[in-house]
Amino acid sequence: MRKAGDAAMEQRSRVGEPVIVLEHVAKRFGKLYALKDLSLTINAGETYGFIGPNGSGKTTLIRLLVGLSRPTQGTISILGKRVPSQAVAPAIGYMTQASALYNDLTARENLEFFASIYGLRGEERRRRINEELERVELTDRASSLVAHFSGGMKQRLSLACALVHRPQVILLDEPTVGVDPELRLSFWQYFVQLNREGVTIIVSTHHLDEASRCTRLGLLRSGELLAQGAPTELLERSGKNSMEEAFLFFAHQNMPSGATEQGQVYTNTTSAQDEQEVQS
Ligand SMILES: Nc1ncnc2c1ncn2[C@@H]1O[C@H](COP(=O)(O)OP(=O)(O)OP(=O)(O)O)[C@@H](O)[C@H]1O
């Protein structure tokens, strides 16, 4: 699997270099635009948080970045390659909302599976697995079947599996759901450490209290980027004291004409491909 990545993927990006570039990205499911004309650049060493209510397009965006789905319009590049790209895949770590773990394997076996997919072998594999087990505080449960794990433990193991191959770009869809506050804090401390190493983290959440921990935020509503910037900058620009109030401020500023009560905008055209995705 590692062979799929070329030499460029093996090189670590320098902090501040553009890593992810979206240009006029839209994603349509039937008549619904889940994402509309999104353009943004995310740099190496950032934790960029997509914040928005249910249905605002966070998962859709992360699936596009992973390459699991293609944009209806626009382009996405990661590490200088247009995605989806086989060359980029090994440089990405992805943690979904739904568990990707195997219940009938132990925690260590799950990690071994993900590590081997990414081409880790021998001593390096053992070392990385032990490091990640320790990081998520599961060393003493390494030999337990995942079927017996609590939701929070599964979440921790999922994070470990997404990071075991030391990816340059990490995409995390609601990573702290079901994780207790203490461990949630340690996740965020780990993210800061990864940022310092030049790792870029994209995280989706609807926990506004987590927003302040991101380097930059993109406020999403109904598939539109209402505003983006550092948390303090967004508070300043809105003149508000909390991210919740700031979000509402930018949402009112951007209220689209023709919006429905839920804030979704519809068009009249549908393609066969989009209809297929509606079924999936
Ligand atoms: N495969 C699909 N077919 C049809 N509609 C879809 C599909 N995937 C997402 N949508 C729609 O696109 C919109 C954005 O959904 P998405 O899951 O990206 O939102 P989200 O911000 O991640 O929400 P949540 O916080 O609940 O996970 C929603 O209206 C959703 O119903």
What value does the mean pLDDT of the chain take? 85
Q: Please give the pLDDT value at position 276.
A: 42
CATH number given to 2-279: 3.40.50.300
- 59 pocket-lining for ligand 1 (C-beta < 6 Å): yes
What digits encode the pLDDT tens for the residues 231-272? 999 999 999 999 889 999 998 887 755 554 343 322 223 333
Sheet of 73-78: strands edge to edge?
A: 32-43, 18-29, 73-78, 81-82
Residues ≥6 apart with Cβ < 8 Å to 144: 106, 107
Would the pLDDT of 222 be above 50? yes
The number of the ligand 1 atom at minimal distance from the alpha carbon of 280 is: 1
- 47 pocket-lining for ligand 1 (C-beta < 6 Å): no
84 cis-preceded (ω within 30 degrees of 0): yes
ipTM over 0.95: yes
Residue 271 burial (CB < 10 Å; 0-12/13-18/19+)? exposed
What digits encode the pLDDT tens for the residues 168-196? 999 998 887 777 788 788 788 888 988 99
- 55 pocket-lining for ligand 1 (C-beta < 6 Å): yes
What digits encode the pLDDT tens for the residues 108-155? 999 999 999 888 999 999 999 999 999 888 999 999 999 999 888 888
Q: If you average pLDDT over residues 89-102, what whole number do you get? A: 86
Percentage of residues of the chain with pLDDT beyond 70: 87
Percentage of residues of the chain with pLDDT beyond 90: 58
Residues ≥6 apart with Cβ < 8 Å to 113: 102, 105
Q: How far is the CA of 239 from the centre of ligand 1 (A)?
A: 31
| Rounded Cα distance, 101 and 164, in Å | 14
* Contact by Cβ (8 Å): 169, 20: yes
Q: What are the structural domain ranges in the chain?
A: 2-279
Q: What angle do CA 178, 98, 219 make, to 5 degrees?
A: 75
| Tokens read off for 119 | 């081409």
Q: Please give the pLDDT value at position 182.
A: 81
| Tokens read off for 252 | 């009112």
